[in-house]
Chains A and B, each alone.
Chain A
Amino acid sequence: MNILEIQNLNVTFDTEDGQLRALRDVSFNVPEHRIVGIVGESGCGKSTLINSILGLLADNGQVEKGKILFEGQNLTELNSSQLRELRGVRISTVFQDPMGALNPVISVGTQMLHIQYRSSLSKSEKLDNAAEMLRRVRIPDRESALTRYPHEFSGGMKQRIAIAMAMMMEPALLIADEPTTALDATLEVATIELLQDLQQQIGCSVLFISHHLGVIAELCDDVVVMYAGEVVERGTTRQIFYRPMHPYTERLLQCDPAGQSERTRHLPTIPGEIPDLRLRTPGCIFAARCHCREDICDSTPPEVEIEGQSARCHRLVA
């Protein structure tokens, strides 16, 4: 079963210079108990996607068409109080900057109490819950940790506390937006392992957003590759990393310095820039930067599916 199904999602923003289409025909699923990674460079619409799932789009943005089905319920049709019932309970989020996610003037324990405001447990039971959660994210000295304030913890510990808070209500879906980007390499792998453990214990699904290909390869079961507001390719992690079908995925993997085991002074790049989404021309979104561009690329590319892996590219039809 799919926890989250995104069908043909189109999101637009009204700007001074006209309408900007931030997401165009985005479709993918997050199945139960799986970790789905979203890869893409800045400006590819990752954040817009999360915000539309959570119902947190800015005032000038709207879901033009498409559905976001969470446990069968279309999130785009819910009003703000219905969404509030879901957020933090059934869907929770971990953001990139842990300090920004924690309230600096309220102790960690009190914040963890506040999260459980919908629960009917007594205060001491809630505190026990909080301490138990801190144990699961391996925070030492839990009792005193509850009385301390966010600034008294190191960056890695803060991110773990943020993860503990997100997992507190045992959500069905955890959205993790670049949770390891601000951390050192050693903490990064530790945090990934922690997320993996918790995901298995709680049995939730995870939507994991990152631009770090190594982290995606390590953590995720499925991968969705986004470029300039479109899903260009999706498949299992092995399919994407070993047999990319879309030229963008191919180039992206080549660009990662981590991908080259041989030392080289000249690193591969993708020439060109992300297109201006206000001036969207028909045809393949990646055509302007593509190394195998042909005339046919000026028309809308078909979505080709092979063994569960799908990509939008003309090259695959031939």
Chain B
Amino acid sequence: MILSINNVEVTFRVGPWFNRQPILGVAGVSFDVAPGETFALVGESGSGKTTLANAINGLQSISNGDVTFLGERIDTTSQRNMKPLRQQMAMMFQDPVGSLSPRMRVGDLVAEPFHIHKIKANIKEETERLLSLVGLSGDFANRYPHQLSGGQARRVGVARAIALNPKLIIADEPTAGLDVSVQGEVLNLLNDLRERMDLAMIIITHNLHVVHHVADRMAVMYLGRIVELGETESMFRAPAHPYTAALLSANPEPDPDKAKERISLPAEVPSLLARPSGCEFHTRCPWVQSRCKSDQPFANGEVRNIACHYPLSPGDKLPVKQSSI
């Protein structure tokens, strides 16, 4: 395993100074990523996907659990030891243009990782090589970020991420804000690079269609916990957790006549300050039973890891109701 995280918790303290309250942004998450694997984290906004990514790359300190990357504990290591590990783990942040410094040219942006890690290389050659790898011509090196389109800026982000031959790329919403035709380009590029460089990837997204095509395994997060984890194909075919089923059914498809069997999720996402008792999804679950309100379900620890008392089996009828917010 290239990365294994075990029971990770991230605590934030919120509220005024006289009444600080801890909230769990990530509440006990465990999973492994194998070399060359694409792993997807999905969930609604506020489910802790980005916080978890930051905890993995050491930008966010964790309050419990451990993160092991290439055999080293990231959560306890010093900043000095962290630096060489960062070479192996690249991050692509959410906003493609916003994650590039507006005052640096593309060439300097792509060369920046070499300077930061004091790597002696023929920088000009490397920059050209990286830009051509991501499909940008050499004259892009002289442009500033505001002269790029969203897709081009994303490509520069990819070039920066792969500059030092990392083992793992964490991509936070790599396709958000991109047009459909460009989305495909970025995903194909990431996939080609993954094959060529034997990269492992963690993709964070709420676009389930994208996950279906690129990810080997996926984990569905809700209120900072993983409620279901498994092979992407089998989860799309037969979601077992009601929340996964609801997310999959809430995916508008470009087919006007397709019969929509939709699971409506009532109410809003509960506040992290007042987590529901028992199963935290019970306030919105259409299949809720009395046990769900008192007993917290634990992940069953199998290949298809499900945290639910009454997982759905394939062929279970969805209790379709008139949907409401």
Chain B stretch 26-77: residues in CB contact (< 8 A) with chain A: 44-45
Q: Say whether B265 contacts A186, CB under 8 Å.
A: yes
Beyond A190-B325, A211-B179, A270-B181, whether A265 also contacts B191 by CB under 8 A is yes
Q: Which of B168-186 contact A (CB under 8 A)?
A: 179-185
Q: Does A67 have its Cβ within 8 Å of any Cβ on chain B?
A: no
Q: What's the nearest-Cβ distance from chain B to residue A271, in Å?
A: 8
* Contact A257–B233 (Cβ < 8 Å): no
Q: CA separation between A120 and B184, bound complex, in Å?
A: 53
Contact call B188/A217, Cβ cutoff below 8 A: no
A192 within 8 A of B: yes
Asked if B82 is at the interface of the complex by the 8 Å CB criterion, the answer is: no
- By beta carbon, the residue of chain B nearest A43 is B149
- Chain B positions near chain A (C-beta within 8 angstroms): 44-45, 149-150, 179-185, 187-188, 191, 206-210, 212-214, 232-233, 246-247, 250-257, 260, 262, 264-265, 268-269, 323-325
Total A residues in contact with B, Cβ cutoff 8 Å: 49
Closest to A268 in B: B184
CB pair A185 B208 closer than 8 Å? yes
List, sorted by A's number, 23 A–B pairs whose CB atoms are closer than 8 Å: A42-B150, A154-B269, A156-B268, A184-B44, A185-B208, A186-B250, A190-B323, A193-B323, A217-B253, A218-B252, A252-B181, A255-B181, A255-B184, A257-B184, A257-B187, A257-B210, A258-B253, A259-B254, A263-B212, A266-B191, A267-B183, A267-B184, A268-B184
Complex: A154 Cα to B323 Cα, angstroms: 19
Q: Are A267 and B213 in contact (CB under 8 A)?
A: yes
Closest to B181 in A: A270
A194 and B323 alpha carbons, distance in the complex (Å): 10
With a 10 A CB-CB cut-off, give which of A160, A186, A215 has the most chain B CB atoms: A186
A92 within 8 A of partner (CB): no
A251:B181 contact, CB within 8 angstroms:
yes
Q: Contacts of A273 on B, CB cut-off 8 Å?
A: 149
Interface majority SS on A: helix, strand, loop or mixed? helix
Tell me which of B191, B213, B325 contacts A260 (CB under 8 A): B213
Contact with B along A239-274 (1 / 0, CB 8 A): 001100000000111011111100111111110010
Whether A190 contacts B256 in the complex (CB less than 8 A), given A184-B206, A211-B180, A255-B181, comes out as no
Least distance between A160 CB and chain B CB atoms (Å): 7
Choose one: B44, B213, B232, B323; the contact of A257 (CB below 8 Å).
B213
User: Judging by beta carbons under 8 Å apart, are A189 and B252 in contact?
Assistant: yes
Q: A185-B206, A188-B250, A189-B262 are in contact. Are A156 and B325 (CB under 8 A)?
A: yes
Closest chain B CB from A262 CB (angstroms) = 9
A41 CB–B CB distance under 8 Å:
yes
Q: Is there an interface contact between B324 and A269, defined as CB atoms closer than 8 Å?
A: no
CB distance from A244 to the nearest CB of B (A): 11
B256 & A256 in contact (Cβ 8 Å cutoff): no
Interface centre among B44, B208, B254 (most CB of A within 10 A): B254
Question: Is B191 in contact with A256, judged by CB distance below 8 angstroms?
Answer: no
A41 in complex: contacting residue of B179, B250, B269, B324, CB < 8 Å? B179
The minimal Cβ–Cβ distance linking B120 to chain A, given in whole angstroms, is: 36
Q: Which residues of B contact A212 (CB under 8 A)?
A: 252
Please state if B325 and A160 are interface contacts (CB–CB under 8 Å): yes
Cα separation A237 to B258 with both chains bound (whole Å): 13
Contact present for A258 and B251 (CB under 8 Å)? yes
Contact pick for A189, options B179, B206, B233, B323, CB 8 Å: B323
Bound-state Cα–Cα, A259 to B213, Å: 11
A146: min CB distance to chain B, Å: 18
User: Roughly how many angstroms separate A281 CA and B172 CA in the complex, as a whole number?
Assistant: 39
Question: Which of B214, B264, B323 is within 8 Å of A265, CB to CB?
Answer: B214
Most chain A beta-carbon neighbours within 10 Å: one of B191, B207, B212: B212
Q: Are B183 and A257 in contact (CB under 8 A)?
A: yes
| A316 interface residue (CB < 8 Å to B) | no
Residues of B within 8 A of A237 (CB): 256
Per a CB cutoff under 8 Å, which of A157, A189, A263 touches B213? A263
Q: In the complex the two chains form, is A214's CB within 8 Å of B325's CB? A: no
Known: A156-B268, A269-B185. Contact between A217 and B180, CB under 8 A? no
C-alpha gap A260/B213 in the complex (Å): 9
What is the bound-complex CA distance between A234 and B295, given in angstroms?
Answer: 54
Contact with B along A105-136 (1 / 0, CB 8 A): 00000000000000000000000000000000
Cβ–Cβ < 8 Å partners of A251 in chain B: 181
Is A65 an interface position by the 8 A CB rule?
A: no
B246 and A192 contact, CB distance less than 8 A: no
Q: B188, A258: Cβ atoms under 8 Å?
A: no
Whole-angstrom distance between the Cβ of A249 and the nearest chain B Cβ: 11
Contact for B209 among A157, A187, A242, A258, CB less than 8 A: A258
A 80-117 to B, binary, CB cutoff 8 A, 1 in contact else 0? 00000000000000000000000000000000000000
Is A138 interfacial (CB 8 A cutoff)?
yes
Q: Flag A194-227 by CB within 8 Å of B: 1 or 0 each.
A: 1000000000000000011111111000000000
Across-interface contacts of A190 in B (CB, < 8 A): 264, 323-325
Partner of B180, one of A41, A186, A187: A41
Taking the closest CB of chain B, its distance from the CB of A289, in whole angstroms, is 9
Q: Which of B181, B185, B262, B324 has the most CB of A within 10 A?
A: B181
**A151-169 contact mask (Cβ, 8 Å, vs B): 1 or 0:** 0001111001000000000
**Least Cβ distance of B178 to chain A in Å?**
9
Which 9 A-B residue pairs are closest in the complex by CB-CB distance?
A214-B252, A267-B184, A41-B179, A213-B254, A270-B181, A258-B209, A269-B184, A257-B209, A190-B325
Q: Which residue, A214, A216, A218, A269, has most C-beta atoms of chain B within 10 A?
A: A269
How far is A264 from B323 in the complex, measured between Cα atoms in Å? Answer: 32
Closest CB in chain B relative to A181 CB, distance in Å:
9
A174 to chain B, nearest CB (A): 18
Q: Which of A160, A189, A257, A267 contacts B250 (CB 8 A)?
A: A189
The chain A residue with its CB closest to the CB of B252 is A214
